[in-house]
Amino acid sequence: MSRLRMLTANGAGREELKKIMESINMKNSKEKKLKGRKLQRISKKIVETLGNIPVINIGKNISAKNILKNLSHPI
């Protein structure tokens, strides 16, 4: 079972997280890669939203579309 599925089973803030990712996706509509500071800010938002539970493995470069795709995966 993936971490995301465990989190949603525990009722963690999935909708809030999706909103964050959708807003990121809007800002990065040209499929830019997220790097450095920007990536740190995004991962910080995710951690704040879920109360220090990492949801997805954030590598050095990951597109907002891929993050969103992971979140919107049906349970």
- Contacts for 44 with CB less than 8 Å, ≥ 6 apart: none
| Cα separation values, 37 from 5, 34, 42, Å | 28, 9, 9
Instruction: Work out how many domains the chain is built from and give that number.
Output: 1
Per-residue pLDDT tens over the stretch 5-41: 555 555 556 666 676 666 666 555 554 555 566 666 7
Share of the chain above pLDDT 70, in %: 1
- Give me the half-sphere count of Cα atoms (radius 13 Å) on the Cβ side of residue 61: 3
Tell me the whole-structure pTM to 2 decimals.
Answer: 0.26
Q: Which amino acid, residue 15? A: E
| Exposure string over 4-41, b if 16+ CB within 10 A, otherwise e | beebbeeebbbeebeebbeebbeebeeeeebeeeebee
Domain around 10 = 3-71
